[in-house]
Amino acid sequence: MLSDSHAHLTLEHFDPDRDEVIARARAAGIARLVTVSSFIGDAAACAELAAQHEFLYFTAGVHPHEAKNWTPEVAQSIRQAAALPKAVAIGEIGLDYHYDFSPRGDQRRVFREQIALARDLRLPIVIHTREAWDDTLLILHEERAAEIGGVFHCFSGGREEAARCLDLGFHLSFAGPLTFKNAGNLAEAAAFAPIDRLLCETDAPYLSPHPHRGKRNEPARVVHVVEKLAALKGLPPAQVGEATTRNLDKVFRIA
DSSP letter, residue 238: H
User: What phi-psi label fits residue 154: left (phi over 0), alpha (psi between -120 and 50 degrees) or beta?
Assistant: left
How far apart are alpha carbons 87 and 9 in whole angstroms?
15
| pLDDT tens across the length of the chain (255 residues) | 999 999 999 999 999 999 999 999 999 999 999 999 989 999 999 999 999 999 999 999 999 999 999 999 999 999 999 999 999 999 999 999 999 999 999 999 999 999 999 999 999 999 999 999 999 999 999 999 999 999 999 999 999 999 999 999 999 999 999 999 999 999 999 999 999 999 999 999 999 999 999 999 999 999 999 999 999 999 999 999 999 999 999 999 998
pLDDT of residue 27: 98
How far apart are alpha carbons 196 and 19 in whole angstroms?
32
pLDDT of residue 255: 80
Task: List Cβ neighbours of 255 (8 Å cut-off, separation of 6 or more).
Answer: 249
Please state the separation of Cα 180 from the chain's center in Å.
Answer: 19
pLDDT of residue 38: 87
